[in-house]
Structure 1
Amino acid sequence: MNRTALRALLKERRELIAPEAHGLSRPTGRGRRALGLSQQQVDELTCRAVDTYNRLETGRYPNPPADYLRQVGRLFGLNEQEWVSLCRYAGIGDPPGPLNPSSGLEVPGAWQEAVDGIGHMAYLTDASWNVLAHNRHFAEMYPAGRPPANTIRWMLLDESAREDTLIDWHDVWAPLILPQLRAAIAARQEDETLRAIEREVRADAFLGRLWEEGGFHIHPDGDERPLRHALLGPGHVTICAAQPLTAPGARLIIMIFRPGLQKSHVRAPMLRAAPRGASS
């Protein structure tokens, strides 16, 4: 727990909220006037016992429940980065999921320009795997030059992906993609797009059996997989994955393509900062 940072974050955001916006009034008696909501008003709005919020803001509430922190975060209008900070400062670590169901479904518009400037195949999806931005290199991977609307649905259920583009789909791609879908649903249980894909997966003869078997591989970062490029032919892609900080669950995927099905190249070593004092 970081009491100083926790108090600063909560006090600043609490004082920005007008009690009148929630049908409450400001105290009229003597004494110092609260700039925004009082601590007791926060207890009232979150339906908690008196002094609950004071304990949180002053750091006297060890390991507060995530559902209570979510109540406070939504009441205070925190963004996703502030939500992460609130959970960390309160001592529970990273949040169990996004603050709001709509989080992860949009990113700043500058990301399109950023993706366009990448020299490898690159695309950006929201938390439901809907494509928000892509560059021309990524579009060229597809026979028609048009990427799918939803990449995980395409990877799992599109016939051209299974039979042509994603080489060794049954053994290499499908077993690694399904756990990603499962993990996303665990974090976003009310996401109807993901739930619809899950229903399609369960109804598929092969994927349905694989889904029931489970699987734990949920992160493609650094993976290398065989792929048939519409213009460049068969080869391998190394997948680099990252996440925009303002959109939890969204992902930037960069695919480094190397022609040929033989893994003749040497995998790049891990990047680490040089020890202090080491000569350049």
Structure 2
Amino acid sequence: MSALIEAHGLTVLRPGGRDTVLQGVDFRIDPQEIVTVVGPNGSGKSSLIRALLGHMPLAAGRVTRRAGLRIGYVPQRVQVDTTIPMTVRRFLSLPRRVSDGVAARVLARTGVEGVGARQLTQLSGGQFQRVLLARALLHGPHLLVLDEPTQGLDQPGIVAFYKLIEEVRRQTGAAVLMVSHDLLVVMRASDRVICLNGHVCCEGTPQHVSSAPEYRALFGAGSEGTLALYRHRHDHDHDHDRDRDAACLHPRRQSGAS
């Protein structure tokens, strides 16, 4: 088996067993691949993740995972009880204690070195997401699963986080499966994009998906403009990386690129 996870004919019912949330979905992710799942609210994106991880029962189909597969998971929402003191270092050791050296390495890898002694409640949104990613990296996963990892971040924070994901993939060799609604930037690092709406509407490279009629039907007739950054050709220089990212984030019709 070359795939890390593979699914065939995956069908999932909503709680109560009456309505179908996913129907006949085929899926695979290979080593070191970055796959992004997009779709409107209620399209079954998070249900797909939970089914692939074995957290949700299947009504039909099958899911196969590579033997010994290690998965690092960043869930969509993490509730922190603000009345309970919890440092970053302690958080990284739940439920299984890790050494100070390991904790320091994963925090450095995600760009938040030195925050180990800080309370979780003192972190910014971007810092907290990086701590969650560090926790997911603790045990050397073969696959990182990120469910809406940039919720609550502003646009510069979103761009920085996805840059970090690209770097983590290069450093660790882990595959990445992401669910996101951030159509402006989410596909930037993706090898493959899956557009979901209860079933797989279309999939392929970001360029292929952005031009697919099914994608435009879901996100609007002008949605191809949201992916202009993936096709943008630089014919000028920027002084700073931040300037380059800001310029590329605008749809082509707004940026004046031809």
Whether the TM-score (by the shorter chain) exceeds 0.5 is: no
Bigger strand fraction: 2
Bigger helix fraction: 1
Name which structure has the greater RCO, CA cutoff 8 Å, separation 6+. 2
In our comparison, the structure showing a higher alpha carbon Rg is 1
* TM-score (norm. length: structure 1): 0.27
